[in-house]
Structure 1
Amino acid sequence: MAHKVIIAGGGTGGHIFPAIAIANALRKLEPDIDILFVGATGKMEMEKVPQAGYPIEGLEIAGFNRSNMFKNLLLPFKLLKSLRQARNILARFQPDVAVGVGGYASFPILKAAQKKGIPTLIQEQNSYAGKSNKWLGRKATKICTGYEGMEKFFPAEKLLYTGNPVRSAISQSAVAKDEALRHFGLMMGKPTILAVGGSLGAKSINEAILPRLADFVNADVQLIWQTGKLYYEQAKAAAAPFATHVKVYDFINVMDFAYKASDAVISRAGALAIAELCVVKKPVVFVPYPFAAEDHQTMNAMSLVNKKAALLIKDDEAGSRLVNETLSLVQNKALMEQLERNIAPLGNTNADMTIARAVLGLI
């Protein structure tokens, strides 16, 4: 009989892509394994997971809305409904183990699985654990962490430090730099910066770059700019006069090409972005998203900044500092080399397999 595994969570690429990496590793270890994803209806995972070749079911769940308290009135009803949906999925699919990767959908599935006595594994990506994972952690069978020192959030005997999974397309990419630059229509021999605000884009990064596009051209620096959907049309129009140096995308599907083409990166500090940047060994300027739960992005970034492996600019200072400091970074050979040297040992290309083995170990 093939083993059955549910992988629950999503909301952003930061949760979805590590989940797919774990699923792919499980398939490598056990080719006939039966994997079902559970996500939140209307969120990004409902599109990205089927593209990766896995079935997915959606729960009608939403997260706590910090900016509009009014929207939270329906939250208790949505939670109850999603718990009922989760129980139905478990009864129908009968998994041997349930894996939660963070994001809205992981809570109802893991909560319902724990109630039924199904082994559960939490993949906690961040250096500061979120509330629902802390709560689920009390009854979880195993907790795989992206950072060390997580005993302050979880029972020590359940912890397994694995690092965060990185897509094999990135960790095992064989693309050459000239090929990557050609893909984006850029030239060899010019410093190239990649700006990414996560899968949904980043307002402060976009707003810092938009009025300064001419400065990239004047410095003869190339820019690959992933804006997210909301900002794309405005950015594309603004970049039109600077098309030789500035390439704008709402979402980049071939991140291995984007990393290979770039000399330095501007990025949010989500756990997945950090894991990828450590693997590709790129000098990076982090602009942590300050409204992430418990400000975990700042803590994630500081774990690298303290090792002199990255630079950090606060979100509210991006407008005044980001472009100047990134342009001067790519012209500072000694600093570029120092950042590369210090980020390189932090890369982990084997986390997906370690987590997959831990999942199978619970069956």
Structure 2
Amino acid sequence: MGNYRFILSGGGTGGHIYPAIAIANELKKRYPKAEFLFVGAKDKMEMEKVPQAGYKIEGLWISGLQRKLTLKNLMFPLKLISSLLRARQITKRFKPNVAIGTGGFASGPLLKMAASGKIPCLLQEQNSYAGITNKLLASKAKRICVAYDGMEQFFPKEKIIKTGNPVRSDLVDLKIDKKEAIEFFGLDSSKKTILILGGSLGARRVNQLIEKELDFFQHQGVQLIWQCGKLYNEDYKQYDSSSVKVLAFLNRMDYAYTAADIILSRAGAGSVSELCLVGKPVIFIPSPNVAEDHQTKNARALVSKNAALMLKESELDSEFEKSFINLMDSADTQNKLSTNIKELAMPKATEHIVDEIEKLFK
């Protein structure tokens, strides 16, 4: 056998797309003859990212509800009906053995139609606070793979399996020499290195903070690897110097993580899972502009286990320098944070999720 057919849907942001691709890659490794089809939202980044990863994708005309009354909202019922009909056509034609949803708008219509066609469905929820699409689909799913404790407040307890989130395979076992990593960025191995991560597009408030604190960092004698995001590269590349490396994005995350002594990061689910594997002291600066404020909840889940520090955007001006100095000055705190965050890592998440998928079609 092995001629299985898998349909996957997740998108809108990298946080939903990346896990879906990682799951497909693991399935492909186990079933080289299997067929795969992704379903995404027509104008979102999955339409570009999925083909780059070597998979076919079909688009639905769907978007989320805006918080205020807009033309887009008035179109929503129409888009929803159109997407449900299209999703039904796709599942009837493709006849998958299993449907897998990783969150995002497009996975709603697809998994709803797959379930009504008696196709077993698995959901993967990345965040500590479940997204609206996955909450709506929970009753239809056979299994729900999660990354945090306490998810029975959103999902039926008997369906939940704690697997962790899929992470990039090159980060599971960092075997790079620190000196080599520091040299890769042209930095000084006698200085402490701070890594700033704002996500692939960048984080405006984080970038504003770093710009404002450049003199402070210099006084502290530290050097920076500043991933400012492609939307902001033009604004900040003027600060690139021997001790401040400004990059639109990081092609070699393995080198960046190895070089870092302390990391400042947003708290998207994917970043949090990677940082658990990396095991360095982290200060999270969650984005307040995301659905259900889930980044703050992701960060709090770690802070409550003494595995990270967190500063809200509203606290940056008053608290940042003090928090940073306290962390820099205490080797004990740094070690404690490193040890505790590493204990939360789940490096085999993708394999465990695929083990659960196998139970649905074997």
| Structure 1: 5+ residue stretches without partners | none
Cα distance change of structure 1 residues 112 and 323 upon mapping to structure 2, 3 Å threshold? farther
Flag as ranges the 4+ runs of structure 1 deviating above 4 A. 67-70
Distance in structure 1 (CA, Å) of the matches to 2:74 and 2:232: 29
Q: Which moved more, 1:290-299 or 1:125-134?
A: 290-299
Cα distance change of structure 1 residues 81 and 53 upon mapping to structure 2, 3 Å threshold? same
Letter in 1 for 2:316: A
* Structure 1 residue 49 corresponds to structure 2 residue 50: yes
CA-atom RMSD, angstroms?
A: 2.0
* Aligned-pair CA distance for 1:4: 0.8
For 2:336, the equivalent position in structure 1 comes to: 338
Question: Is the Cα contact below 8 Å between 1:204 and 1:318 reproduced in 2?
Answer: no
| Structure 2: 5+ residue stretches without partners | none
Q: Which moved more, 1:186-195 or 1:65-74?
A: 65-74
Distance in structure 2 (CA, Å) of the matches to 1:93 and 1:145: 27
* Structure 1 residue 249 corresponds to structure 2 residue 250: no
Distance in structure 2 (CA, Å) of the matches to 1:186 and 1:48: 32
Question: Is the Cα contact below 8 Å between 1:13 and 1:198 reproduced in 2?
Answer: no
* Aligned-pair CA distance for 1:323: 5.2
Distance in structure 2 (CA, Å) of the matches to 1:326 and 1:18: 32
For 2:30, the equivalent position in structure 1 comes to: 29
* Aligned-pair CA distance for 1:54: 2.2
Which residue among 287, 312, 315 is the counterpart of 2:313? 315
For 2:130, the equivalent position in structure 1 comes to: 129
Cα distance change of structure 1 residues 177 and 12 upon mapping to structure 2, 3 Å threshold? farther
Question: How do residues 151-230 of structure 1 correspond to structure 2 at under 5 angstroms?
Answer: 151-230=152-231
Q: How many residues align?
A: 360
Distance in structure 2 (CA, Å) of the matches to 1:357 and 1:5: 14
For 2:19, the equivalent position in structure 1 comes to: 18
* Aligned-pair CA distance for 1:252: 2.0
* Cα distance per residue 1:101-150 (max 9 Å; x no partner): 11222112111211211111000111111222111001111111111221
TM-score, normalised by the number of residues in structure 1: 0.93
Distance in structure 1 (CA, Å) of the matches to 2:343 and 2:63: 37
TM-score, normalised by the number of residues in structure 2: 0.93
Cα distance change of structure 1 residues 76 and 250 upon mapping to structure 2, 3 Å threshold? farther
* Cα distance per residue 1:212-270 (max 9 Å; x no partner): 22332332212112222222210213x14xx1111222222322222111111111111
* Cα distance per residue 1:247-305 (max 9 Å; x no partner): 22222232222211111111111111111111110111111122322222212111111
For 1:62, the equivalent position in structure 2 comes to: 63
Structure 1 residue matching 2:88: 3-state secondary structure: helix
Distance in structure 2 (CA, Å) of the matches to 1:254 and 1:65: 36
* Aligned-pair CA distance for 1:324: 5.2
Question: Is the Cα contact below 8 Å between 1:205 and 1:318 reproduced in 2?
Answer: no
Structure 1 residue matching 2:232: 3-state secondary structure: helix
Letter in 1 for 2:19: P
For 1:259, the equivalent position in structure 2 comes to: 257
Distance in structure 1 (CA, Å) of the matches to 2:68 and 2:252: 33
For 1:87, the equivalent position in structure 2 comes to: 88
* Cα distance per residue 1:200-219 (max 9 Å; x no partner): 32222112112222332332
* Aligned-pair CA distance for 1:328: 4.7
For 2:301, the equivalent position in structure 1 comes to: 303
Letter in 2 for 1:281: G
Question: Is the Cα contact below 8 Å between 2:267 and 2:284 reproduced in 1?
Answer: yes
Structure 2 residue matching 1:266: 3-state secondary structure: strand
* Aligned-pair CA distance for 1:346: 0.6
Distance in structure 2 (CA, Å) of the matches to 1:161 and 1:231: 37
Letter in 1 for 2:125: E
Distance in structure 1 (CA, Å) of the matches to 2:228 and 2:297: 24
